[in-house]
Structure formats: structure tokens, C-alpha cells
Homo-oligomer: A and B are copies of this chain.
């Protein structure tokens, strides 16, 4: 019997990451291209189709041995119809992205939002492998999350579950991109941390952050580590609120494991120690003791591995 393969596509605002893999998650060929979002929806669709075509050819896998294609995309999506409803950094507007892919390759194709795809990837190939109740959180430009409940992806009633970044944790907090005040995304995302730091610098407060032309969360974490008081206050305040939000998530979902990925989480031990200590303080017994909080080990590849895992899970469901 010949080996079976799937293709995963991680669609982002600046780049598209595609890969072909066997059913054990071993990637045999992969490529990253620019999204070229400014060229419009049809151009981006063509870029995806050409990328899939290129990957198949370079991998020397026969099209008949490719069982499924999984696509992870920012949302909101209509997962059942394969439609990207709209997305801040992509040109799509109620655009059916799956039908043209299925028509071109004659391979069953599946769409899921990027946070759900990431939790599926962790569940099949990452830190969530031995669990059936898994939550994945990404703390990056924005904050998102996805959940596996009893071994199945939890979509919610409108395919918009786990919009964790927009849970309100401080009624008097900063304004979020969504228009609300005090969402955790406004307080603890990379964007939120950088914005708060720039406000403080513009208020002429005393801080070594002044020396940077452009401040991102990375500089704030770095200066906090170097002992800058203001940077440390910003980091501690953000991580305290993030820890409380994660404690609430654990109090509600009672998961076995929370996996955290994304650029801000990559700041490392200080990040994880602080989150764990706040969850211990603010969570509810026994779920707070039972639930592990760990870094993603797929980071960087979590999008494309998640899309591969989506294809495998859907193939197994439908075979």
C-alpha cells in the first residue's frame, strides 16, 4: 500500500505557509510565500492554488495519494460553507475559498479559524497529545484561543467560541481594537503592551524605553529584565491581568492542559512563572491545581502543522 498524505495551508495576512505531510505529521516538503493581500481576493486565492500545485510537484507525491487539504485562516469564517466572512488583514469578503481548491485538485478540503487549527495541531502533534480537554492560547499581536473538548474541536454555536482576547477583565481598562474597554487583548497582547509603553514614554515618564525609536513588547520585556522600573510595572500589570483571564478560563473549562504560544509567550520563564503564580492565586480549587500550563513546542510551525492536523482529523472523521 502506498503512503497517504495531506496538505496544510496556514493563511496569514503577510505570508502563506504550505506543507505536505504524512499521517504522522512528518513534513516532506514545505514552502512559504507572500500573501500579497493588497492584490485582492482572487489573486490571494491563486497564490494558494499555485502554492499547493508547487508543493505537490516538488514533493513527488501523486495527487491520488493526497487525501485531504486543511486551511487555517483568521476569521470570522463560515466553516461549514468554507467561506471567509471577513478578516482584518486579508482582502476576503464572504469569499468561498474551499470550492475552487476542491475543484482544482479534486481533494476534500477543510477550513478552520487559526486558533482552532492551532489547538488541533497541539492535540495531534504537540503538547496536547495525551489529553482530551485542551486549550491553546496565542499571545501575539492579538490574543486568541481554541479548545478541544472531550477529544473534539469546540466550535460554538456560531463558530465563534473561545474569543478569549475579547473577554473583559478590567471595566476601566484601555480601549480595545473591538471598541470595548478592558478586553484582555487591549491589556496583554503585544500591541496592547507596546501601546501602553508608548503612552508612558510620550508622558515623559522616566524609563530606558525612551532610547528606542520603535517600541514593541519585545523591548518592554527586555528593559523589564534589565531592571527598568516602568517597563517592569507594565509587564507585571499585563501578565497579572492575563493570569486572571487564564485562571477564569480554567475555572470555566476545567481543562487538563493550557498550552500558550505566540510571540509574547516566547519571552520565556518570567512569562510562564508569573502566569502560573497568578493562576494559583486567582484560580479555583481543584481545577487550578490539576491543569498544566505549558509553552507550545510547535511555535513558528504551529499554523501549518495545525492545518495538516485539521486535514488528518477531518479525513479520519469522514473515511
Contacts and interface: CB of A to CB of B under 8 A. Distances in A.
Contacts of A150: 152
Judged by DSSP, the binding face of A is: loop
A282 interface: yes
Contact of A255 (B157, B254, B282, B286): B157
Interface in A117-171: 133, 149-150, 152, 154-164, 166-171
B157 A252 contact: no
A146 B159 CA distance: 20
Given A76-B286, A149-B154, A170 B168 contact: no
**Oligomer: number of copies:** 2
A198 interface: no
A102 interface: no
A180 interface: yes
Contacts of A241: 171
B244 A168 contact: yes
A281 B284 CA distance: 28
A247 interface: yes
A249 interface: yes
Given A163-B287, A284-B166, A157 B256 contact: yes
A248 interface: yes
A290 B158 contact: yes
Given A284-B160, A291-B157, A167 B252 contact: yes
A112 interface: no
A222 interface: no
A251 B163 CA distance: 6
A240 interface: yes
Contact of A282 (B180, B253, B256): B180
B156 A287 contact: yes
Nearest to A251: B163
Contact of A157 (B76, B160, B254, B284): B254
A149 B148 CA distance: 12
Contacts of A247: 168
A290 B251 contact: no
Contact of A166 (B76, B154, B251): B251
B286 A254 contact: no
Nearest to A147: B252
21 contacts: A76-B286, A149-B149, A156-B254, A156-B287, A157-B287, A157-B290, A159-B254, A160-B284, A160-B286, A161-B253, A161-B287, A162-B254, A163-B284, A167-B248, A167-B251, A168-B248, A168-B282, A171-B240, A171-B241, A180-B281, A252-B252
